[in-house]
Amino acid sequence: METKSAKNYGTFLLLVLLCALFIAPVVIVLINSFKGQFYISDAPFSLPNSLTFAGLVNYINGVQKTGFFTAFFYSLFITVGSVLMLTLGASMTSWYLIRAKNRVSTIIYYLFVFSMIVPFQMVMFTMSKIANMLFLDNPLGIIFIYLGFGAGLSVFIFSGFVKAIPMEIEEAAVVDGCNPIRLFFSVIFPILRPTAVTVAILNTMWIWNDYLLPYLVIGNDYKTLPIAIQYLQGGYGSRDMGALMAMLVLAIIPIIIFYLICQKYIIKGVVAGAVKG
């Protein structure tokens, strides 16, 4: 009994240490966002005091220099549009591929899976050229590019949970007069809701924080938050560290709030996956 208690205590202590390790960078950025620029490099781990505290100066300067609200709007528009299309499109595609059960659907499924192992660096220059040719180099067009890059993982996740849905439920709905569209939205998608939220969170965290793809496709014309924040770092190593820290804080707040709201659905999805079959 004592051995088991000691083991549980050791596990708890390890988890606390890991939690502190992951939270530490966020805390360091937060406390430095309230310091004067010249004190951040000298004492990055100390709390602000009467000498180093800068109030909201860093936040005001950062918002003015980056055009924060415009960049926030572009990031929000691209993220919401991409995540909605990925979640809806991948769930419908997965349902069809699993239920069709023929050679063509199997090949298409493995093509989706194969797309996950292709490095982005292999296709980024060709992709940016084609995006320009097809007039996708704008906030609306890049949504379709994200749909292509994110479909592989999303379809893979949804497919595993679609397999766990009993066919009897769908057959009963068809007998009651459901057409395929009504069957999906009234029966299948509500069952997949925890999985859909999990997929939405994964893609939101990726798209919201993505720097390279928006930089290659839409560049300086429509700056998203990562691109706007990057411009606080000037040439020859010059940078406004105070404004940079402040903008990083403002950039991560929406994604943290979104994750905290949706985390209970992730737990439901994990539990559903653990007992399926």
Cα 168 to the chain's mean position, in Å?
Answer: 34
Residue type, 243: A
Quote the pLDDT of residue 269: 55
pLDDT of residue 275: 43
In this predicted structure, what is the pLDDT of residue 3? Answer: 65
The string of pLDDT tens digits covering residues 258-277 is 888 877 766 665 555 444 44
Distance (Å, whole) CA 259 – CA 198: 10
Residue 74: per-residue pLDDT? 93
Q: φ, ψ for residue 192 (rounded to 5)?
A: -85, 5
Return the domain boundaries, the chain. 78-275
Measured CA to CA, the distance from residue 106 to residue 97 in angstroms comes to: 7
Hey, which CATH number is domain 78-275, 1.10.3720.10, 1.20.1560.10, 2.60.40.420, 2.130.10.10?
1.10.3720.10
In DSSP terms, 35 is beta-bridged to 53
DSSP string covering 192-251, please? THHHHHHHHHHHHHHHHH--HHHHHHTTTTT--HHHHHHTTB-GGG-B-HHHHHHHHHHH
Regions of the chain where pLDDT drops below 50:
273-277
